[in-house]
Amino acid sequence: MEQTYTQEYEFLKVSRQDRIAVVAISAPKSLNALNSVIIGELTHFISNIDEDTRALIITGDGEKSFVAGADISEMATLDRIGGCAFGQAGADLFRMIETLPIPVIAAVNGFALGGGCELAMACDIRLASNKAKFGQPEVGLGIIPGFSGTVRLARTVGMGYAKEMIYTGKIIRADEALRIGLVNAIYEPEALMDAAMEMAKKIAANAPIAVRYAKTCINEEWDMNADDAIEFETEFFGRCFDTEDQKEGMQAFLNKTPVEFKNR
Ligand code: CO8
Protein backbone atom coordinates (compact mmCIF):
# COMPACT_ATOMS: atom_id res chain seq x y z
CA MET A 1 0.00 0.00 0.00
CA GLU A 2 1.49 3.32 -1.07
CA GLN A 3 1.18 6.30 1.24
CA THR A 4 2.62 9.77 1.13
CA TYR A 5 3.95 11.43 4.25
CA THR A 6 2.03 14.48 5.36
CA GLN A 7 5.21 16.46 5.96
CA GLU A 8 6.07 18.62 2.95
CA TYR A 9 9.67 19.34 2.07
CA GLU A 10 11.05 21.77 -0.47
CA PHE A 11 13.73 19.41 -1.79
CA LEU A 12 12.56 15.94 -0.82
CA LYS A 13 9.91 13.66 -2.27
CA VAL A 14 8.98 11.16 0.37
CA SER A 15 6.68 8.17 0.18
CA ARG A 16 6.06 4.90 1.92
CA GLN A 17 5.16 1.50 0.55
CA ASP A 18 4.16 -1.09 3.13
CA ARG A 19 6.85 -0.59 5.76
CA ILE A 20 9.48 0.82 3.41
CA ALA A 21 10.21 4.56 3.38
CA VAL A 22 11.52 6.12 0.17
CA VAL A 23 13.13 9.53 -0.04
CA ALA A 24 14.15 11.10 -3.35
CA ILE A 25 16.36 14.19 -3.25
CA SER A 26 14.91 16.67 -5.69
CA ALA A 27 16.83 19.78 -6.72
CA PRO A 28 16.64 19.58 -10.52
CA LYS A 29 18.44 22.88 -11.19
CA SER A 30 21.62 21.61 -9.57
CA LEU A 31 21.41 17.87 -10.34
CA ASN A 32 20.30 17.27 -6.74
CA ALA A 33 23.42 18.88 -5.23
CA LEU A 34 23.24 19.00 -1.45
CA ASN A 35 22.76 22.50 -0.04
CA SER A 36 22.30 23.19 3.65
CA VAL A 37 18.51 23.26 3.33
CA ILE A 38 18.53 19.74 1.84
CA ILE A 39 20.89 18.57 4.56
CA GLY A 40 18.48 20.03 7.14
CA GLU A 41 15.44 18.45 5.49
CA LEU A 42 17.09 15.04 5.26
CA THR A 43 18.17 15.29 8.88
CA HIS A 44 14.60 16.14 9.90
CA PHE A 45 13.05 13.38 7.79
CA ILE A 46 15.43 10.69 8.92
CA SER A 47 15.25 11.59 12.59
CA ASN A 48 11.45 11.33 12.40
CA ILE A 49 11.16 7.94 10.71
CA ASP A 50 8.60 5.99 12.70
CA GLU A 51 9.21 2.74 14.54
CA ASP A 52 7.12 0.74 12.14
CA THR A 53 9.46 1.45 9.22
CA ARG A 54 11.72 -1.49 8.41
CA ALA A 55 14.00 -0.08 5.71
CA LEU A 56 14.76 3.20 3.97
CA ILE A 57 15.61 3.74 0.30
CA ILE A 58 17.44 6.92 -0.69
CA THR A 59 17.51 7.94 -4.35
CA GLY A 60 17.75 10.99 -6.58
CA ASP A 61 14.75 12.47 -8.33
CA GLY A 62 14.87 12.54 -12.14
CA GLU A 63 16.82 10.40 -14.55
CA LYS A 64 20.21 12.03 -14.56
CA SER A 65 21.52 12.35 -11.05
CA PHE A 66 21.54 10.72 -7.65
CA VAL A 67 23.40 13.63 -6.02
CA ALA A 68 26.02 15.63 -7.99
CA GLY A 69 27.88 16.58 -4.82
CA ALA A 70 27.63 19.27 -2.24
CA ASP A 71 26.33 22.54 -3.66
CA ILE A 72 29.37 24.31 -5.09
CA SER A 73 27.59 27.67 -5.31
CA GLU A 74 26.93 27.55 -1.56
CA MET A 75 30.49 26.46 -0.73
CA ALA A 76 32.28 28.94 -3.02
CA THR A 77 32.42 31.80 -0.51
CA LEU A 78 32.87 29.85 2.70
CA ASP A 79 35.83 30.49 4.99
CA ARG A 80 37.46 27.96 7.27
CA ILE A 81 34.80 28.18 9.98
CA GLY A 82 31.97 28.03 7.45
CA GLY A 83 33.65 25.09 5.68
CA CYS A 84 33.96 23.22 8.96
CA ALA A 85 30.32 23.89 9.85
CA PHE A 86 29.07 22.79 6.41
CA GLY A 87 31.24 19.67 6.51
CA GLN A 88 30.05 18.89 10.04
CA ALA A 89 26.36 19.15 9.08
CA GLY A 90 26.87 16.69 6.22
CA ALA A 91 29.08 14.38 8.27
CA ASP A 92 26.53 14.30 11.13
CA LEU A 93 23.70 13.49 8.72
CA PHE A 94 25.67 10.73 7.03
CA ARG A 95 26.68 9.23 10.38
CA MET A 96 23.01 9.30 11.39
CA ILE A 97 22.22 7.33 8.22
CA GLU A 98 25.05 4.89 8.85
CA THR A 99 23.89 4.21 12.40
CA LEU A 100 20.14 4.35 11.75
CA PRO A 101 18.53 1.31 13.42
CA ILE A 102 17.05 0.18 10.08
CA PRO A 103 18.94 -0.74 6.89
CA VAL A 104 19.34 2.00 4.30
CA ILE A 105 19.63 1.22 0.59
CA ALA A 106 21.04 3.78 -1.84
CA ALA A 107 19.39 3.45 -5.26
CA VAL A 108 21.97 5.31 -7.30
CA ASN A 109 20.22 6.39 -10.48
CA GLY A 110 22.83 8.75 -11.98
CA PHE A 111 25.70 10.98 -10.89
CA ALA A 112 27.00 10.15 -7.41
CA LEU A 113 29.85 12.62 -7.18
CA GLY A 114 31.58 14.13 -4.16
CA GLY A 115 28.94 14.38 -1.44
CA GLY A 116 26.72 12.11 -3.57
CA CYS A 117 29.24 9.28 -3.53
CA GLU A 118 29.72 9.96 0.20
CA LEU A 119 25.97 9.80 0.81
CA ALA A 120 25.78 6.46 -1.02
CA MET A 121 28.66 5.13 1.08
CA ALA A 122 26.89 6.07 4.32
CA CYS A 123 24.08 3.73 3.28
CA ASP A 124 24.26 0.03 4.11
CA ILE A 125 23.81 -1.20 0.55
CA ARG A 126 24.32 0.47 -2.84
CA LEU A 127 22.37 -0.59 -5.91
CA ALA A 128 23.00 1.34 -9.10
CA SER A 129 21.58 1.99 -12.52
CA ASN A 130 23.97 1.07 -15.34
CA LYS A 131 23.98 4.82 -16.11
CA ALA A 132 25.33 5.77 -12.67
CA LYS A 133 28.70 7.47 -12.34
CA PHE A 134 30.78 7.70 -9.18
CA GLY A 135 33.68 9.87 -8.15
CA GLN A 136 35.29 12.10 -5.55
CA PRO A 137 36.30 15.08 -7.70
CA GLU A 138 36.89 17.47 -4.77
CA VAL A 139 40.63 18.03 -5.21
CA GLY A 140 39.83 19.55 -8.59
CA LEU A 141 37.86 22.21 -6.70
CA GLY A 142 40.60 22.86 -4.14
CA ILE A 143 39.00 20.87 -1.32
CA ILE A 144 39.04 17.32 -0.03
CA PRO A 145 36.03 15.04 0.43
CA GLY A 146 34.36 16.64 3.46
CA PHE A 147 31.36 14.45 4.12
CA SER A 148 33.50 11.53 5.36
CA GLY A 149 34.69 10.31 1.95
CA THR A 150 38.29 9.96 3.12
CA VAL A 151 36.92 7.79 5.92
CA ARG A 152 34.46 5.56 4.08
CA LEU A 153 35.88 5.14 0.56
CA ALA A 154 38.99 3.28 1.74
CA ARG A 155 36.85 1.13 4.01
CA THR A 156 34.55 0.32 1.11
CA VAL A 157 36.93 -0.29 -1.81
CA GLY A 158 40.35 -0.57 -0.12
CA MET A 159 43.10 1.97 0.47
CA GLY A 160 44.81 1.78 -2.94
CA TYR A 161 41.77 2.37 -5.12
CA ALA A 162 40.35 4.98 -2.71
CA LYS A 163 43.57 6.97 -2.92
CA GLU A 164 43.57 6.72 -6.71
CA MET A 165 39.98 7.97 -6.92
CA ILE A 166 40.49 10.81 -4.46
CA TYR A 167 43.88 12.01 -5.76
CA THR A 168 42.87 11.89 -9.44
CA GLY A 169 39.23 12.89 -9.01
CA LYS A 170 38.41 10.45 -11.79
CA ILE A 171 34.82 9.52 -12.47
CA ILE A 172 34.03 5.84 -12.84
CA ARG A 173 31.10 4.09 -14.47
CA ALA A 174 28.73 1.68 -12.78
CA ASP A 175 30.48 -1.42 -14.12
CA GLU A 176 33.77 -0.26 -12.61
CA ALA A 177 31.98 0.59 -9.34
CA LEU A 178 30.65 -2.97 -9.33
CA ARG A 179 34.10 -4.42 -10.04
CA ILE A 180 35.70 -2.61 -7.09
CA GLY A 181 32.86 -3.38 -4.70
CA LEU A 182 31.52 0.15 -4.42
CA VAL A 183 28.07 -1.11 -5.45
CA ASN A 184 26.41 -4.47 -4.87
CA ALA A 185 24.59 -4.77 -8.18
CA ILE A 186 23.68 -2.81 -11.31
CA TYR A 187 20.37 -2.71 -13.16
CA GLU A 188 18.73 -1.15 -16.18
CA PRO A 189 17.57 2.33 -15.06
CA GLU A 190 13.87 1.41 -15.19
CA ALA A 191 14.48 -1.70 -13.04
CA LEU A 192 16.49 0.00 -10.29
CA MET A 193 13.71 1.12 -7.93
CA ASP A 194 11.88 -2.21 -8.21
CA ALA A 195 15.11 -4.02 -7.33
CA ALA A 196 15.68 -1.71 -4.35
CA MET A 197 12.09 -2.21 -3.20
CA GLU A 198 12.33 -5.98 -3.57
CA MET A 199 15.48 -6.04 -1.46
CA ALA A 200 13.92 -3.73 1.15
CA LYS A 201 10.86 -5.99 1.38
CA LYS A 202 13.05 -9.04 1.85
CA ILE A 203 14.74 -7.23 4.76
CA ALA A 204 11.36 -6.07 6.12
CA ALA A 205 10.10 -9.66 6.25
CA ASN A 206 12.84 -10.64 8.71
CA ALA A 207 12.89 -10.14 12.47
CA PRO A 208 13.39 -6.36 12.91
CA ILE A 209 15.34 -6.58 16.16
CA ALA A 210 17.66 -9.22 14.69
CA VAL A 211 18.26 -7.06 11.61
CA ARG A 212 18.96 -4.07 13.88
CA TYR A 213 21.38 -6.03 16.05
CA ALA A 214 23.12 -7.36 12.94
CA LYS A 215 23.63 -3.79 11.66
CA THR A 216 24.91 -2.64 15.04
CA CYS A 217 27.33 -5.57 15.23
CA ILE A 218 28.71 -5.14 11.71
CA ASN A 219 29.18 -1.39 12.20
CA GLU A 220 30.66 -1.51 15.69
CA GLU A 221 32.89 -4.55 15.14
CA TRP A 222 34.60 -2.96 12.13
CA ASP A 223 37.16 -1.14 14.27
CA MET A 224 37.57 -3.75 17.01
CA ASN A 225 40.18 -6.43 17.37
CA ALA A 226 38.92 -9.98 16.77
CA ASP A 227 38.51 -10.87 20.47
CA ASP A 228 36.49 -7.74 21.29
CA ALA A 229 34.44 -8.12 18.12
CA ILE A 230 33.57 -11.74 18.87
CA GLU A 231 32.61 -10.82 22.45
CA PHE A 232 30.43 -8.00 21.13
CA GLU A 233 28.65 -10.31 18.70
CA THR A 234 28.14 -12.96 21.38
CA GLU A 235 26.48 -10.38 23.64
CA PHE A 236 24.04 -9.34 20.90
CA PHE A 237 23.45 -12.96 19.89
CA GLY A 238 22.42 -13.64 23.49
CA ARG A 239 20.13 -10.62 23.56
CA CYS A 240 18.17 -12.07 20.61
CA PHE A 241 16.95 -14.82 22.95
CA ASP A 242 15.21 -12.19 25.07
CA THR A 243 12.93 -11.33 22.14
CA GLU A 244 9.50 -12.70 21.31
CA ASP A 245 10.52 -12.74 17.66
CA GLN A 246 13.23 -15.34 18.33
CA LYS A 247 10.57 -17.61 19.86
CA GLU A 248 8.20 -16.89 16.99
CA GLY A 249 10.86 -17.44 14.30
CA MET A 250 12.04 -20.76 15.67
CA GLN A 251 8.56 -22.09 16.52
CA ALA A 252 7.30 -21.19 13.04
CA PHE A 253 10.24 -23.08 11.53
CA LEU A 254 9.72 -26.13 13.72
CA ASN A 255 5.92 -26.12 13.25
CA LYS A 256 6.22 -25.37 9.53
CA THR A 257 3.84 -22.40 9.90
CA PRO A 258 4.16 -18.89 8.42
CA VAL A 259 6.23 -16.57 10.55
CA GLU A 260 4.89 -13.28 11.87
CA PHE A 261 7.41 -11.03 13.56
CA LYS A 262 6.15 -8.41 15.99
CA ASN A 263 9.27 -6.31 16.55
CA ARG A 264 9.27 -7.39 20.17
N1 CO8 B 1 26.79 22.12 -7.03
C2 CO8 B 1 26.06 23.12 -7.58
N3 CO8 B 1 25.53 23.07 -8.82
C4 CO8 B 1 25.76 21.95 -9.54
C5 CO8 B 1 26.52 20.86 -9.03
C6 CO8 B 1 27.05 20.98 -7.72
N7 CO8 B 1 27.74 20.00 -7.14
N8 CO8 B 1 26.59 19.91 -9.98
C9 CO8 B 1 25.89 20.37 -11.04
N10 CO8 B 1 25.39 21.59 -10.77
C11 CO8 B 1 24.58 22.44 -11.65
C12 CO8 B 1 25.42 23.06 -12.76
O13 CO8 B 1 26.10 24.19 -12.29
C14 CO8 B 1 24.36 23.36 -13.78
O15 CO8 B 1 23.71 24.55 -13.42
P16 CO8 B 1 23.31 25.64 -14.58
O17 CO8 B 1 22.32 24.92 -15.42
O18 CO8 B 1 22.73 26.76 -13.79
O19 CO8 B 1 24.56 25.95 -15.30
C20 CO8 B 1 23.36 22.22 -13.62
O21 CO8 B 1 23.63 21.64 -12.33
C22 CO8 B 1 23.55 21.15 -14.67
O23 CO8 B 1 24.91 20.75 -14.66
P24 CO8 B 1 25.81 20.68 -16.00
O25 CO8 B 1 25.31 21.65 -17.01
O26 CO8 B 1 27.24 20.81 -15.57
O27 CO8 B 1 25.46 19.21 -16.48
P28 CO8 B 1 26.42 18.25 -17.30
O29 CO8 B 1 25.57 17.08 -17.70
O30 CO8 B 1 27.15 18.96 -18.36
O31 CO8 B 1 27.52 17.75 -16.23
C32 CO8 B 1 28.26 16.95 -14.08
C33 CO8 B 1 27.12 16.99 -15.10
C34 CO8 B 1 29.43 16.15 -14.64
C35 CO8 B 1 27.71 16.24 -12.83
C36 CO8 B 1 28.72 18.38 -13.75
O37 CO8 B 1 27.59 19.16 -13.41
C38 CO8 B 1 29.67 18.46 -12.60
O39 CO8 B 1 30.85 18.18 -12.77
N40 CO8 B 1 29.18 18.84 -11.40
C41 CO8 B 1 30.01 19.02 -10.24
C42 CO8 B 1 30.37 17.68 -9.65
C43 CO8 B 1 31.29 17.87 -8.46
O44 CO8 B 1 32.37 18.38 -8.56
N45 CO8 B 1 30.81 17.41 -7.29
C46 CO8 B 1 31.56 17.50 -6.07
C47 CO8 B 1 31.24 18.76 -5.36
S48 CO8 B 1 32.25 18.99 -3.93
C49 CO8 B 1 31.59 17.99 -2.78
O50 CO8 B 1 30.65 17.29 -2.98
C51 CO8 B 1 32.28 18.01 -1.45
C52 CO8 B 1 31.49 17.32 -0.36
C53 CO8 B 1 32.00 17.69 0.98
C54 CO8 B 1 31.80 19.11 1.27
C55 CO8 B 1 32.37 19.53 2.57
C56 CO8 B 1 32.18 20.99 2.76
C57 CO8 B 1 33.10 21.69 3.58
Architecture of domain 206-255: Orthogonal Bundle (1.10)
Active site residue 118: yes
Write down the pLDDT at residue 8: 87
Active site residue 176: no
Ligand 1 center–CA 221 separation, angstroms: 36
Residues of the chain with CATH 3.90.226.10: 2-204
Write down the pLDDT at residue 3: 52
CA distance 233 to 218: 9
CA distance 88 to 98: 15
3-state secondary structure at position 260: coil
Write down the pLDDT at residue 91: 97
Residues of the chain with CATH 1.10.12.10: 206-255
Ligand 1 center–CA 176 separation, angstroms: 21
Catalytic residue among 118, 176, 233, 235: 118
The list of the chain residues with pLDDT below 50 reads 1
pTM comes to 0.96
Considering only CA atoms, which residue is closest to atom 1 of ligand 1?
71
Torsion angle defined by CA atoms of residues 31, 33, 39 and 42, in that order, rounded to the nearest 10 degrees: 30
Matching CATH number, 2-204, of 1.10.150.250, 3.30.70.3000, 3.90.226.10, 3.40.190.10: 3.90.226.10
What is the biggest distance separating any 2 CA atoms in the chain, rounded to whole angstroms? Answer: 65
Write down the pLDDT at residue 205: 95
Catalytic residue among 138, 188, 233, 260: 138
CA distance 42 to 21: 13
